[in-house]
Amino acid sequence: MPKRFRMSMLSLRIRIFLSMIVLVLIASILMASISIIQFKNEAKDYHQERLERKESAIKEHINYVLANTTYPLTTNNLDLIFKDRIHELAQIHNMEINIYGLDGKLLKSSKASFSIDSIAPPIPKYILKLVQSSIEKRYVDIKNINGLKNRSSYSLIKDEKFKPLGILNLPYVEDDGFYEKELQNFLIRLGQVYSFMLVIAFALAYFLSTYITQSLKTISDKLSETSLNQKNEKIFLRANSKEINLLIKAYNGMVDKLEKSAVKLAQSEREEAWREMAKQVAHEIKNPLTPMRLTVQSFERKFDANDPDLKQKLKDYSETLIQQIDTMSSVASAFSNFASMPAQQNETLNVVEVVELALDIFNEDDVLFESEESEIISKMDRTQLIRIITNLVKNAIQAIPEGQQQKLVSVSVKRVENDVQIAVRDNGTGIELPNIDRIFEPKFTTKNSGMGLGLGIIKNIIENYKGTITFESEYGKGTTFTVSLPIINS
């Protein structure tokens, strides 16, 4: 569906340009309209005054005829008095003249005899009343006949004693041909003038709109280039508009404030980065301490000086502790060098063997390990793989309540096409439904201790290897985390 056009969609320059053009067009239309109305009013006044002049002149002529007639001045004698004179009057004044009796019946007319009806229509009664009741004893009836305006004046004919003798009727058809021709010529000249003005207005509007918006375009370009992450330049421009100068001043002030805010933001980001690194380092250092503590406690509890395998067990315990110490050492080294967590040091290894070795530090009967194959060779970082297993198994152990009778943490390794799949399953409390979508969020934890960074860290490690980590959980029955890592051959 096409969008509706709105004026606000146009640029300020185009809007100024169009506004000026529209003003010129509206002015020309208003001028033409006023001129047409003025011409019509002048024509109306002209015809009204002309009819009054004609009527006044004819009545003076009629009064002269009445003053010099030999017939008695009565209504019935009007036909005889003007029998020969009415055509002379009509010819002199170039108008049709009709003389009616006081009862409204036609007595004499200047029309040719063949054009006069045998029984001429009388004057309507309402006109007779208006003529007799008016102060001037005169009434003008206006009608439109065949698209032409017809004026017809009715006035009383009186003798020298002001006694009414009859009614004078002067029909007058308005001829506006002259005014219409003058109006047409005027409108043509007006159109020519305004066409020339419109061309000038186009050029003037273009240059004015460009001049007005030039400073605004400079400000707009600077605003589009403004960024928090760079040194922003101020606008050194003196505009001819007070409002634009205020806008430039406000922009330059904003640049100063933005620079100060950028400094504060950079400092805040550095502090936040240090805090996050400190939390990750603390978590990574704390992560191996739990299995090391369990290893020492188990060694202390099961130590037997007479055990024939004592030397082998001491070697295993030592290797386990050394691995965890190496992990903490690499984390501390990375932190001291202002770097991120230890980079990948890929080596060719047996994933099954490394996972099994990582589980030895827990030394608990509840942690079971199984693998469909005894050897799955891949190329990856041993330390990071141990970190993944240690974190998931530790979380699984902590997810089982201490008072639960049957505890089980199962770790399995198998090959699935070109991936090695490691599953860690527990029969703990499981994950509540509202928390399922937040498991991998940094700083989110359901435990009383810990910072909630473990799963987020190992998720990043797994994704760096183009792997995936998923989980299935049923509240009250347990959770299974499944890690899939691609098998990388050397």
- Token reading at 251: 């922009």
Q: Kindly state the average pLDDT of the residues 8-21.
A: 70
**pLDDT > 70: what percent of the chain?**
77
Using the predicted structure, report yes or no on whether residue 412 has a pLDDT greater than 90: yes
Q: In the predicted model, what is the mean pLDDT of residues 148-176?
A: 82
Q: What is the C-alpha separation between 422 and 411, in angstroms, rounded?
A: 7
**Mean pLDDT calculated for residue range 255-280:** 71
Q: Which of 235, 205, 204, 232 shows the shortest CA–CA distance to 217? A: 235
- What confidence tens digit (pLDDT) does each residue in 78-133 have? 888 888 788 888 888 888 888 888 888 888 888 765 444 456 788 888 888 888 88
Element (H, E) at 386: helix 382-398
Neighbouring-strand partners of residue 106: 100
| Each residue's pLDDT tens digit, 128-149 | 888 888 888 888 888 877 767 7
* DSSP 8-state secondary structure symbol assigned to residue 303: -
Measured in degrees and rounded to the nearest 5, phi and psi for residue 446 equal -105, 0
Percent of the chain clearing pLDDT 90 (strictly above): 6
Helix axes 242-302, 382-398, angle to 10 degrees: 80
For residue 6, what pLDDT is reported?
A: 56
Question: According to the model, what pLDDT value does residue 111 have?
Answer: 77
Using CB atoms within 10 Å of the CB of residue 68, give its burial: 0 to 12 exposed, 13 to 18 middle, 19+ buried: exposed
- Convert 38-58 to b/e letters by CB count within 10 Å (16 or more is b): ebeeebeeebeeebeebbeeb
Query: Residues 16-30: pLDDT tens digits?
Result: 777 777 887 888 788
Q: How confident is the model at residue 422 (pLDDT cuts 50, 70, 90)?
A: very high
Which of the residue ranges 133-142, 232-241, 255-264, 321-330 has the most confident prediction, judged by mean pLDDT? 133-142
Q: Mind listing the pLDDT tens digit for each residue in 66-81?
A: 888 888 888 888 888 8
CA distances from 27 to 35, 182, 199 (A): 12, 21, 14
Q: In this predicted model, what pLDDT tens digit does every residue of 350-395 receive, in sequence order?
A: 999 999 888 887 766 788 899 988 899 988 888 888 889 988 988 8
Quick check: helix, strand or coil at residue 158? strand
